[in-house]
Chains A and B, each alone.
Chain A
Amino acid sequence: MPELNLTSAPAHLRHGSNIGQPLTRRDGVLKVKGQATYAADNHPPGMLFAVMAVSSIAHGRVTSLDVTAAKRHPGVVDVMTPDHKPQLAIDPEIKTNPFVFRMEVLQSNEVRYANQPIAVVIAETLEAATEGTVLLAPRYETLPALVGLDADDSYVPPVVGVGNPAEHHRGDVEAGLASADKRIDAIYETPPQYHNAMEPHAIVAAWNGDSLQIDMPTQGLMLSLARVAELFGIPHDKIHIRSPFLGGGFGSKGLMAGPPVLGIMAAKLVGRPVKLVLRREQMYGPVGHRAPTRQRLRIGTDAEGRLIALDHHARTVSSTFDDFYEPAADASHTLYAAPAIRTSHDAVRVNTGTPLFMRAPGEATGSIALESAIDEMAFACGMDPLAFRLKNYAEVEPITGKPFSSKALRACYDEGAARFGWAKRTLQPRQMRDDSGLLVGWGMGTATFPALMFQAEARAVLRRDGSGAMEIGAHDMGQGGWTALAQIAADAVALDIDRVTFKAGTSDLPDAGIAGGSAHTATAGAAIHSAGAAVIAKLADLATNDERSPLFGAGNAGVIARDGRLVRRDDESRSESYTDILARAGLAEVEARGTGAPNPAAMEEYAMHAHGAVFAEVKVDPELGQIRVTRMVGAFAAGRIVNPHLVKSQLFGGMIWGMSFALHEEAITDRRSGRIMNANLGEYHIPVNADVPPLDVITVEEHDPHVNALGIKGVGEIGITGSAGAVANAVWHATGVRVRRFPIRIEELLTQL
């Protein structure tokens, strides 16, 4: 199968009219009728229910489980424990590649964090399995739990995020700070946060001999498949994973975690299909979270308000047994033109599940601190926060000196500020009120997120009946892959979207890479684009080498595809339909594959980021300290917009996450036990509908010929960055009280109002 890697050909010249259209979701009807099948909706014949028992201690070991009592409960079929379980092919503690995280799959009786799985009860009914976990009445030998950012001696992690150095610097920060006319030095704290997708992690696993059928939400079909294959010692082609819909992922469903592996083990143990669904409280442990941070920012400016130095240090945590470090300080690499920048991280180990990517990992956490600090610095300079940001606008990426592949941030500032009415803002805080006497504050933040690309492959087919197909193991976790990628697919084969069968969401399709890093549309889209070009090139070969074709002799490059026909570039009156070309060639169909991948040369040359500016209005009750966000405007420049309808939704979602970061969500850990005391959705607050004000999103047009063939930068995560800081800064502007611990709590305002 010949492969074709397209470079940065300006795709829109060839493509039709599918991309850029505000189509509604193609999976919409299924979803509104309750017919979209999520993993836990499956129920193969003979299926049993598996429920995990989880640890109530954070550190120590399980000394006893009353398996007899659990098995005595009517309907309980078996109890899987460290002493009674199928053997895995490899030790789950072995990290076979950097995207493998250690997991607890009953390999020992050791407990390393609260809510760690310690047994699995399998029963004929969900009610029996659930009660069985209680009847196990685990006993423990408890060891002291490491809790919080000061739990232990700190160390400098080997890398942060995915392979980033823990420390970066450019220029002499200390000299810069020493010579600064004005400086600030402030410490910000962010809490542990949990992804809390509405859909709990779930798996339905069914073994058929040595073959394995899995229904499971995953943001990475092939990574999951490879991990299952190595853990169970079975070949890839014996495993089939279906993940047509994810009920949200946000990073927590990217890599294989322990619980779904336990589901597969349970199915093997009992020889029947098994469904294992996490209870909500069980999502606060084995499936990742955003680590807490304490960040110190030191910033200095000259007398005119120009940045001289920016020092951003972040303390974070990882688990006692594995490594993931929230790259919070790296948020300071790209936005502001300080001649001297230093970013650094250190960490402590605590008794928690290993932290993981959570929507804008590093950027969200670092951004709220950076944007707060920039706001503080602007005020110290007596400058409007927007004017200050414009004065320190980075024309090249500050940390590397590279030019940006594109950067329409200035337009974002302009259009967002105009829409918001920013010009009427008072410089001094606590100057604005509404008619009912509530304090009003306006704040802003700059948004940024890297434009990433991973690896993907797609397969395109053109059929004699004039239809086409595009196959790629892509994921839709709500971002709209079923729609946006189908739009790209339709353009890639130059057919109307209704003529193209778009297949995705299963592991037997070409590898689409991971749906993360805001890179899925770009990556999978590039593969689709490339596969489409390849299949059309094949068709063109057929036509242009056939003297009976009106396209004969035009050469592969001499034709373009449009509306199911190939057309001569130099003579548009000469064209031939796909159907005719295939019919004459005696072929039922023609197929080709294509790949999407990062372009190392372009990455070497350019800094690639999406940008945005977010403006927020809050009202604060001056006596009670209660805060409400009343208005938000976000202007984003994120390259090419495939579907404005869906992009708006994703940006709204990100902005709400930003608001939630500033005002709402926080996991509360008991410092003695290490247990999370609000592991639920009642007291772990995410915004409800009434919290969310009218939102306004502007997408600023941006043509980027360097990021990828389609010019897409991605919008999944950028909405949080900037928004969190904008809300926090608005609270300061309303009250004059600078809260540096997030989420902002009523008691922090109350005593100072």
Chain B
Amino acid sequence: MKRKIGVRREVRTESENAIEVKNLHKSFRLPTEKAWGLKQAIFNRLRGIKGYKDQKVLKGLDFTIKKGEFIGIVGRNGSGKSTLLKILAGIYYPEKGEVIVNGSLIPFIELGVGFNPELTGRENVYLNGALLGFSNKEMGEMYDDIWKFAELEQFQDQKLKNYSSGMQVRLAFSIAIRARGDILVLDEVLAVGDAAFQQKCNDYFESLKEHGQTIILVTHSMENVRKFCTRAIMIEDGKIVHDGEPEKVAEDYLKLFK
């Protein structure tokens, strides 16, 4: 059951590259028939069945992201965008190839990771903060601002299960924007919330862009690609099919669905 592993390194150099990806491959082992459990595993081995099939998801990606770029990654469902993001974030291991991350990278695969419905809002804020690397003391300093921004001050000591989903997202977002990393990786997190919340998201992205923050954004919204991105990459069937001007990539992307 030996598996190949590519390289993912985190470095801190003065290089102007924030991320370098070279010949990145990734496949997943999908259990074919129910290979979940000891009995099936022994059965399959006895009968010489592998019990899984390799699904190639990324088939050799090459790109470099420079510091200060706002990159949009687009592509249809199942094209490999999220897998790429998770490899950049260090959640999945690359199977082949090399990923070099220069500086600290903060991923938002989802808002409110680790939120627990049985804990109060207050407890969840500290837990979520810890996942972003903030100590208790640091969270304490930002605490009031977080609640003020979420406009949920009166619910601090309620259990999270009594929050509406919209309230949970607002709280998660207020914590998330405190995160300070050299590179931010965002997966569709702004596709939620009402109009007022969307406006807040937009303002946040505007301010990040002004500050020259390096950002990688996976999105289906070509409006956002045009508005924020300085460059866009389109992925189709595990390969990069277009890398360049956001305007042109957005056009290409929309053609996919005609």
* A, B in one complex: no
Please report A residues at the B interface, Cβ cutoff 8 Å.
none
Please report B residues at the A interface, Cβ cutoff 8 Å.
none
